[in-house]
Chains A and B, each alone.
Chain A
Amino acid sequence: QKEVEQNSGPLSVPEGAIASLNCTYSDRGSQSFFWYRQYSGKSPELIMFIYSNGDKEDGRFTAQLNKASQYVSLLIRDSQPSDSATYLCAVNPPGYSSASKIIFGSGTRLSIRP
């Protein structure tokens, strides 16, 4: 079982709609969770991090964490064509601080259609 699992997609969403990206992780002791965006041919860049159960909002982005279900999600409201990218879920393994080693999922490719 992979440590971080994501549906590879592609996920196609019409412009202006809500895009919902999901991720599950295998190690119940993980404490810190991250969403990165990666445009084709570019390096990953951090969108959001979340440590506590519940929702965390930043602009059009909302991260949701459910530690009991070992589930992390990212919602993108009012999706724009510029949101088309691969979204990587990442997790700190247990025993590592949030400012150290993170493990990535394989990413979900998101396409926003005009």
Chain B
Amino acid sequence: DTGVSQNPRHKITKRGQNVTFRCDPISEHNRLYWYRQTLGQGPEFLTYFQNEAQLEKSRLLSDRFSAERPKGSFSTLEIQRTEQGDSAMYLCASNTAELFFGEGSRLTVL
């Protein structure tokens, strides 16, 4: 499979714990995006990278969220001190032109 790969697909954690999601984009794509989606809403932009450079981070994103893309390949999204409001589907996407989404990582914070 040469699509966008995300793992873990599901994560259940207790409030206050840290979680990390990984995204492996399509290999030739230099842009990588993280979105968050809650039930009944469209994907909400979080951040994006061009190669290893993080070009933008949403103002809605608190300091508990951090994303990296070392060497411009895979990316990680870490959420520190999780809160129940962080429960959502975290979607990764990559592109050169058309945006391709991964299957998402679903986070449940108890």
Q: What's the Cα separation between A113 and B58 when bound, in Å?
A: 39
- Secondary structure type dominating chain A contacts: loop
- Determine the interface band of chain B, counting residues with CB < 8 A from chain A: 20 to 34
Q: Quick one: which of B48-97 are within 8 Å of A by CB?
A: 48, 56, 91, 95-97
Q: Are A105 and B48 in contact (CB under 8 A)?
A: no
Q: Which of A14-22, A43-51, A62-70, A72-80 contacts B (4 or more CB under 8 A)?
A: A43-51
A60 within 8 A of B: no
Q: What's the Cα separation between A21 and B41 when bound, in Å?
A: 16
Whether A99 contacts B97 in the complex (CB less than 8 A), given A43-B102, A43-B103, A43-B104, comes out as yes
Q: Which residue in A42, A46, A105, A107 is a CB contact (below 8 Å) of B103?
A: A42
Q: Are A101 and B45 in contact (CB under 8 A)?
A: yes
Q: How many A residues touch B, CB cutoff 8 Å?
A: 21
B31 within 8 A of A: yes
B99 within 8 A of A: yes
Whether A101 contacts B56 in the complex (CB less than 8 A), given A8-B40, A43-B91, A107-B42, comes out as yes
Quote the shortest CB–CB distance from B90 to chain A (angstroms): 11
Q: Are B42 and A105 in contact (CB under 8 A)?
A: yes
Q: What's the Cα separation between A104 and B102 when bound, in Å?
A: 16
Q: Could you list 15 A-B pairs, sorted by A, with CB under 8 Å?
A: A43-B91, A43-B101, A43-B102, A43-B104, A44-B91, A45-B101, A99-B95, A99-B97, A101-B56, A104-B43, A104-B45, A105-B42, A106-B40, A106-B41, A107-B40
Q: Measuring CB to CB, which residues of chain B are less than 8 angstroms from any residue of chain A?
A: 31, 33, 35, 40-45, 48, 56, 91, 95-99, 101-104
